[in-house]
Amino acid sequence: MSELAKAYEPHLVEDKWYAWWQDLGLFRADPSSQKPAYSIVIPPPNVTGVLTLGHVLNNTIQDILCRHARQTGHEVLWLPGTDHAGIATQTVVERRLRKEEKKTRHDLGREEFLQRVWEWKEKHGGIIINQLKKLGCSCDWGRERFTMDEAYARKVQEVFVDLHAKGLIYRGKRMVNWCPVSLTALSDEEVIPKPQKGYLYHFKVEVIEKPGTFLEIATTRPETIMGDTAVAVNPKDPRYTGLIGLHVRRPLPLENQAEIPIVGDEAVDFEFGTGVLKVTPAHDRVDYEIGLRHNLPVIDILNPDGTLNELAGEDFQGLDRFEARIEAVDKLKELGVLVKEEPHENNVGFSERADVPIEPRLSEQWFLKYPKTAEARDAVRNHLIRFFPDRWEKVYDHWLENIQDWCISRQLWWGHRIPVWTKVEAGSSNGTATADTRVQVDSPGDDWEQDPDVLDTWFSSWLWAHDTMDEATRAKFYPTSALVTGPDIIFFWVARMIMAGLEYTGEVPFREVYFTGIIRDKQGRKMSKSLGNSPDPLDLIAKYGADGLRFGLLRIAPQGQDIKFDEQQIVEGRNFCNKFWNACRFRLLHGPVDPQADPARHELSPFAQNLLARLDATIRRVDEGYAAYRFSEIAQALYEFVWSDFCDQFIEAAKADFQSEGARREGTLATIDCVIRRVLQLLHPYAPFVTEELWQGLGFGPTSIMQTPWPQTAGWSDDPRAPQFFEAVSHARNLRATYNVPSNKRLAWRIEPAAGWLQSELPVLSVLLHAESLETVASAPPGSAACPTAIGTIYLPLAGVVDPAAEIRRLAAEMKKVEAEIEKVARKLASESFVQNAPADVVAEHRQRQQDWINRLAELERARTALG
RNA sequence: GGGCGGUUAGCUCAGUGGUAGAGCGGCAGUUUUACACACUGUUGGUCGGGGGUUCGAAUCCCUCACCGCCCACCA
């Protein structure tokens, strides 16, 4: 390619290069490689999922790490896959079934329904995978895994069997979080507390043994009164001590106003409400505990779907729990025992998936007592695993410290079936008999029935880091190098993976964990479908290119901080890619690029030398950024170098060098070629497509840029002439703007040089000032505006435009400002405590600054004198 | 109730003891032969409030306020 299009057009090149990389096998990980390993397992997105900005952030970071690792000489494995996402997927398919065929899963039966889910998965499950490819993710697709793959699923069940054998998995009837919509138990982590506005209902009951004595009870859930089996007070509460052991009459249901005891229990907070608690062991965790302590009967008045059953009495049977609440209040009113209803806000646990209040329910479930909790805590405490940012270590530690057993069984069909088998007794299949059970993966025989429940999705995800790999792969790539994920799944996934890793591999599953921020909209709200504030990343890719999206997003993603998304940032990412594209385009106007260009073999201008030093500094900044997972800083460093140092300053200055042939021109071309090459390499992890397009287009190929080594610093030192020069240019341009000279007006500039080296750089100054002419003078030309700079005093002679009086006023104003600066520094230096206590270099710096200002003042004074 | 994060220019954010910064926006000018997805210049801030440490604080300490998140069985 000898010519580039005027603007970078991503849609013309992205698919091409992605396919090429894949054809060359550049994403493939070779376990037999001698290179050091670098590996990441993808946090598997839900198979039902479509790409969100959160995925874009997360996966772009992983891709950056992987591409950077390849460039730094590692054999890289980025292992992709998807998660079967039990409830989410089952819900999606059930919804379709209802909509399209007006059927429920029960109409189809288990086998047929699962068949449908698999069909759905085959048809739609790959969407997010293709979207990741659009984004440029360099995953080893040949190793794509699914959490229900046969081998993986078997492993999940084996782990169940193993943990059961170790006594860590047990079956028990316990209080669980029940979702009345999904009709399954949930883990504590799947319950989201939400503040709810409701009422605190006060009602009174009479103490049977002391007629005329009433207890007032405050409750938010009057619909559970029918399940009450006691009333509790705190034994230390002086108001009620005499009443413990006596009885009250439960008001509902009307046909069964049972006598229930008053018990004393420490769990009752006598500050709250009336200090009297109704105890419903079947429908409240605390009440259940109280019930156990006092041997209270358990009356379960709810059906699994949240409606009330026959135990609730005829007035309530069949009502939904929220209808029942209203009905219960009405009945209390009718009985004349309702004292008051006061508005009350409290936290109610909601089902994460179905978004309805969960119901505490006594239920027979499988539980896991977590293995290796102490070791898992130590691994992070002792930094065998490092968290970035490290503040999440505390959150992790705290959770492990207070860890509760994990309810792992789900009353769903889609998922890993629990490997527990029960012997079917001929003629008595009601399950009440203590049947013979076996815990094993394969069926013991035809007359054995498998437990109908499946395992929590996360019970399979926690093996993801190691059981997605075969033995050879694991030998090379496990433990993985890094995990990139959101802090919202630190308990769901990260902590559990660490425990599973320690239990089953004896090693930590990853060395470093990077927690991304959460992407919010401009108002700081979470992205959500219902709010419609979540832009489709595919639209953004279509508009700005994958590189623009990646670079724009990463540039505003500070470590561990939530990100307020603004499309303008993506526009800037796109603009940046285009900026660099055009810099390369400019280069091609002056002949073909030399891929081997080495500026060290040329005589270099101060600008070239300085640019190379700035490049070295940029490489250092970028390297530091990678070491500390500071992705926005890397992007920012590259942005600043390319836009300011390279384009705004160097290339503009280089235009003078291209006006003639010679060594100067050759040195500048070599510098540009070298810088472009380095920048392409440095930028490649962030913007893989445009960098490959340019790499090939400029002739750095034919090897892919993916396979080229990471740039090293070359030991260039700053040339102080360059910044002085550019600052002077800035001052001079400022002077022109002050007198409202239009940018396109060419002027006859003059300069009184302060440095000998300037002579050879006058053509550059002339170009940068867009001058008609530029001559050196020995003193101020008459009638000129003057601008003292470090490289000399620059004069703008514009007879008839600059009124000498105006210029004198301007100079006077500037002198005043300079005097103020001198005064400021002088005050500081006059302070003895400062001079004595501050480090010598700081004091010297102040002295130097003071001298600079004094020199400038003298220059201004001289210019004013020259004007008369 | 505990814990964590945040508060710096109109906006998004850098800046962990030494002259308060960047990008965008705004304003003014420019089709200067890489780029109008651009260039040039410029305007914006008692660094949330108060106290302390220090020669010196956006930066360290204390405290308060507000915003956000996480954990926790107050019915």
Of A719, A718, A857, A863, residue with least CA distance to A783: A863
Q: Which nucleotide lies closest to A6 by the C1' atom and the CA atom? A: B35
Q: What is the pLDDT of residue A390?
A: 86
Q: Which residue is closest, via its CA, to the C1' of B38? A: A579
> What letter represents residue A67's amino acid?
R
Query: In the structure, how many helices (H) and strands (E) does chain A have?
Result: 27, 29
The rounded distance, in Å, linking the Cα atoms of A656 and A785 is 25
pLDDT-derived band at A435, boundaries 50, 70, 90: low
Is A756 a residue whose pLDDT tops 90?
no
Nearest nucleotide to A189, CA against C1' atoms: B71
User: Do residues A185 and A177 make contact, with C-beta atoms less than 8 angstroms apart?
Assistant: yes
Evaluate if residue A431 carries a pLDDT over 50. no
What is the average pLDDT across A727-748?
A: 88
- Cα–Cα distance list, A588 to A3, A89, A406, A611 (Å): 7, 53, 63, 19
Please give the structure tokens belonging to residue A151. 């081998």
Is a pLDDT exceeding 90 seen at residue A63?
A: yes
Q: What is the pLDDT of residue A244?
A: 86
Name the residue with tokens 């600043």: A640
What are the tens digits of pLDDT across the range A332-373? 899 898 888 888 888 888 888 888 899 998 888 999 999 999
According to the model, what pLDDT value does residue A258 have?
Answer: 86
| Higher-scoring residue by pLDDT: A48, A607 | A607
The pLDDT score that the predictor gives to residue A433 is 47
Convert the pLDDT of each residue in A105-145 to its tens digit: 889 899 999 999 999 998 888 899 999 999 999 999 999 99
Give the pLDDT score at A694.
95
Mean pLDDT of A265-282: 87
Q: Give the integer Cα–Cα distance in Å for A643 and A635.
A: 12
Render pLDDT for A684-694 as a digit per residue (tens, 0 to 9): 999 999 999 99
Give distance CA A822 / C1' B20 (Å): 18
Is A511 near strand B, with its CB below 7 A from some atom of it? no
Chain A 137-166 residues in 7 Å CB range of strand B: none
Structure token digits, residue A431: 């399950």
Residue A786 φ then ψ, to 5°: -115, 150
Are the CB atoms for A658 and A590 separated by under 8 Å? yes
Query: Which residues of chain A (386-425) touch nucleic strand B at CB < 7 A?
Result: 391, 394-395, 398-399, 402
Task: Quickly state the pLDDT bin for A272 (edges 50, 70, 90).
Answer: confident
Q: Please check whether strand B approaches the CB of A196 to within 7 Å.
A: no
Q: How large a percentage of chain A has pLDDT more than 70?
A: 97
Residue A530 pLDDT > 70 = no
Which is nearest to A856 in space by CA: A827, A830, A820, A828? Answer: A820
43-102 of chain A touching strand B, CB 7 A cut-off: none
| Six token digits for residue A208 | 């049977």
Question: In whole angstroms, what is the distance from residue A664 CA to residue A603 CA?
Answer: 7
Give the pLDDT mean for A504-519.
92
| CA-to-C1' span, A275 to B44 (A) | 59
Q: Which of residues 3-32 of A touch strand B (CB under 7 A)?
A: 6-9
| Strand B positions within 7 A of protein Cβ atoms | 3-6, 11-15, 18-19, 22-24, 28-32, 34-42, 54-56, 67-75
What mean pLDDT do residues A451-459 have?
A: 94
- Residues A124, A128, A131, A136, CA torsion sign: negative
Any idea of the CA torsion for A298, A300, A304, A309, to the nearest 10 degrees?
A: 170
CA of A813 to C1' of B19 (A): 20
Cα–Cα distance for residue pair A442/A153, rounded to 1 Å: 12
What's chain A's average pLDDT?
90
- Confidence tier at A799 by pLDDT (50, 70, 90): confident
Whether the per-residue pLDDT at A568 is higher than 70: the answer is yes
Asked if strand B comes closer than 7 Å to A603 Cβ, the answer is: no
Task: Report yes or no: A731 and A789 within 8 Å, Cβ to Cβ.
Answer: yes
Q: Is the pLDDT of residue A849 over 90?
A: no
Among candidate residues A314, A293, A407, the one with its CA nearest the CA of residue A361: A407
Q: Is A516 helix (H, G, I), strand (E, B) or coil?
A: coil
The predicted structure's pLDDT at residue A427: 54
Indicate whether A473 pLDDT > 60.
Answer: yes
Looking across all nucleic acid strands, the nucleotide with the smallest C1' to CA distance from residue A571 is: B37
Task: Find the helix or strand (DSSP H, E) in which A578 lies.
Answer: helix A567-588
What does the pLDDT read at residue A600? 93
Element (H, E) at A323: helix A321-335
Rounded to whole angstroms, the Cα distance separating A678 from A683 reads 8
Where residue A187 falls among pLDDT bands split at 50, 70, 90?
A: confident
Distance (Å, whole) CA A654 – CA A190: 61
Compute the distance between CA of residue A314 and CA of residue A310 in angstroms, rounded to an integer.
Answer: 7
CA of A821 to C1' of B36 (A): 39
| A764-786 tens-digit pLDDT | 999 999 999 899 999 888 888 88
Kind plus residue range of the DSSP H or E element containing A752: strand A748-753
Interatomic CA–C1' length for residue A828 and nucleotide B46, angstroms = 20
Whole-model pTM: value is: 0.91
Residues whose CB falls within 8 Å of the CB of residue A144, separated by 6 or more in sequence, listed in order? A80, A81, A82, A129
Is the CB of A558 within 7 Å of strand B? yes
- Provide the CA A633 to C1' B21 distance, Å, integer: 14
Whether the per-residue pLDDT at A88 is higher than 60: the answer is: yes
Q: Tell me: the pLDDT tens digits for A229-239?
A: 999 988 888 88
Judge if the beta carbon of A211 is closer than 7 A to nucleic acid strand B: no
Phi-psi region of A402 (alpha: psi -120 to 50; beta: other; left: phi over 0): alpha
Res. A527 pLDDT band, cuts 50 70 90: confident
List Cβ neighbours of A255 (8 Å cut-off, separation of 6 or more). A313, A314
Q: Is the CB of A643 under 7 A from strand B?
A: yes
pLDDT of residue A1: 43
> Has residue A755 got a pLDDT over 90?
no
Distance CA A689, CA A588 (A): 19
pLDDT digit string, tens, across residues A633-675: 899 999 999 999 999 999 999 999 998 888 999 999 999 999 9
Within 7 Å: CB of A546 and strand B?
no
Contact status, residue A229 vs residue A260, Cβ threshold 8 Å: yes
Give phi and psi for A159, each to the nearest 5. Answer: -65, -40
CA atoms of A791 and A281, how far apart (whole Å) = 86
Q: Are A570 and A544 in contact (CB under 8 A)?
A: yes
